[in-house]
């Protein structure tokens, strides 16, 4: 299965006084065109989709996402407003219509896709409360033999000096690690939030953080040239090889 991942687009309305409003829209537009050429089976979006969680920003986001050909599955980031996100994507059957959490399982592929909601309104840091812990454990217990990809906004692990996010309660991140460690079918956990790329082994699986699509908030990439191009990830997952990930650089930004 081939999965494209985008994250941290931080979309603004065109009327915004923010100098990067047009730039961020261009970054996403060009990325969508490039993803269409790769023809992935699915696209996952690991949050911070818009900058302020406002309905006008979600309307702009929907316009930009419209040309995307593959099915899109998204989870909220700390910049998202879950009520507004739910309203803007009300046609997406996978999003729960009620309840506090925008988490779900996609069963349409050989690999199960599990979107995890690590957000709480007004909270910048990650949360993974006992309700969510029980949901994920139960979800993974249901099909222990199918390869499974997890995706979540906040990485539940330390990624170095300039990671100012983290989890409000570190024991919640530990609980997530304990659950993943118990379920060997988890082929990987895909994250956003920190705006720079990281990959390593964590809790017995492969962990990936992708850089922000919005190049003006990107960190951790020294080459000026790379900073000027959107980057998304292509993940190939199979029973035989597990998770293989590739960074894709998008050309065409003015
Ligand atoms: Fe972000």
Kindly state whether residue 254 falls inside one of the protein's structural domains: no
Residue 190 alpha carbon to ligand 1 centre in Å: 14
Question: What confidence score (pLDDT) does residue 11 get?
Answer: 98
Residue 79 alpha carbon to ligand 1 centre in Å: 7
Residue 212 alpha carbon to ligand 1 centre in Å: 7
Q: Is the pLDDT of residue 222 over 80?
A: no
Q: For the sheet with 198-202, list strands across it.
A: 104-106, 112-116, 148-152, 186-191, 205-209, 198-202
121-172 pLDDT tens trace: 999 999 999 999 999 999 999 999 999 999 999 999 888 755 555 899 999 9
Residue 153 alpha carbon to ligand 1 centre in Å: 9
Residue 136 alpha carbon to ligand 1 centre in Å: 24
> pTM for this structure?
0.95
Look at 73-77, 105-109, 206-210, 222-226 and tell me which has the smallest mean pLDDT: 222-226
Question: What confidence score (pLDDT) does residue 38 get?
Answer: 98
- The domain that holds 131 is classified in CATH as 3.60.21.10
Question: What confidence score (pLDDT) does residue 43 get?
Answer: 98
Confidence of residue 228 (pLDDT cuts 50, 70, 90): confident
Residue 120 alpha carbon to ligand 1 centre in Å: 15
* Mean pLDDT for the chain overall: 93
Confidence of residue 64 (pLDDT cuts 50, 70, 90): very high
Cα–Cα dist 222/137, whole Å: 39
Count structural domains, the chain. Answer: 1
| Closest CA relative to residue 87, chosen from 110, 45, 55, 44 | 55
Residue 78 alpha carbon to ligand 1 centre in Å: 8
Cα–Cα dist 151/46, whole Å: 7
Residue-number span of the structural domain to which 61 is assigned:
2-249
Residue 124 alpha carbon to ligand 1 centre in Å: 10
List of residues 6+ apart from 145 with CB closer than 8 A:
185
Cα–Cα dist 25/74, whole Å: 18
Residue 241 alpha carbon to ligand 1 centre in Å: 30
**Residue ranges with strand state E in 156-210:** 186-191, 198-202, 205-209
Cα–Cα dist 231/216, whole Å: 12
Question: What confidence score (pLDDT) does residue 239 get?
Answer: 85
Residue 9 alpha carbon to ligand 1 centre in Å: 7
187-212 pLDDT tens trace: 999 999 999 888 889 999 999 999 99
Kindly state whether residue 103 falls inside one of the protein's structural domains: yes
Question: What confidence score (pLDDT) does residue 161 get?
Answer: 57
Question: What confidence score (pLDDT) does residue 219 get?
Answer: 75
List of residues 6+ apart from 237 with CB closer than 8 A:
1, 3, 111, 147, 149, 187, 188, 243, 244
Residue 47 alpha carbon to ligand 1 centre in Å: 7
- Angle subtended at Cα 92 by Cα 62 and Cα 6, rounded to the nearest 5 degrees: 55
């Amino acid at each position: 299965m081939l999965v494209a991942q985008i994250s941290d687009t931080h979309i603004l309305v065109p009327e915004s006084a923010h100098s990067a409003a047009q730039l961020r829209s261009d970054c996403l537009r060009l990325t969508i065109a490039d993803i269409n050429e790769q023809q992935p089976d699915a696209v996952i979006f690991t949050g911070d989709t818009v900058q302020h969680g406002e309905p006008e920003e979600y309307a702009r986001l929907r316009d930009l996402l419209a040309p995307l050909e593959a099915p899109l599955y998204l989870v909220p980031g700390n910049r998202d407003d879950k009520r507004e996100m739910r309203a803007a994507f009300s046609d997406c059957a996978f999003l729960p219509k009620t309840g506090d959490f925008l988490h779900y399982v996609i069963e349409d592929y050989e690999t199960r896709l599990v979107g995890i909601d690590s957000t709480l309104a007004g909270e910048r840091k990650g949360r993974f409360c006992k309700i969510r812990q029980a949901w994920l454990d139960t979800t993974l217990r249901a099909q222990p033999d199918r390869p499974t990809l997890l995706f979540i906004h906040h990485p539940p692990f330390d990624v170095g000096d300039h990671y100012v996010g983290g989890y409000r309660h570190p024991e919640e991140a530990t609980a997530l690690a304990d659950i993943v460690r118990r379920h060997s079918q988890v082929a990987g956990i895909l994250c956003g939030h920190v705006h720079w790329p990281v990959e390593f082994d964590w809790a017995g699986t492969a962990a990936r953080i992708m850089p922000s699509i919005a190049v003006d908030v990107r960190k951790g990439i020294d080459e000026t040239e790379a900073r000027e191009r959107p980057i998304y990830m292509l993940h190939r997952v199979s029973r035989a090889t597990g998770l293989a990930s590739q960074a894709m650089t998008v050309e065409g930004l003015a």
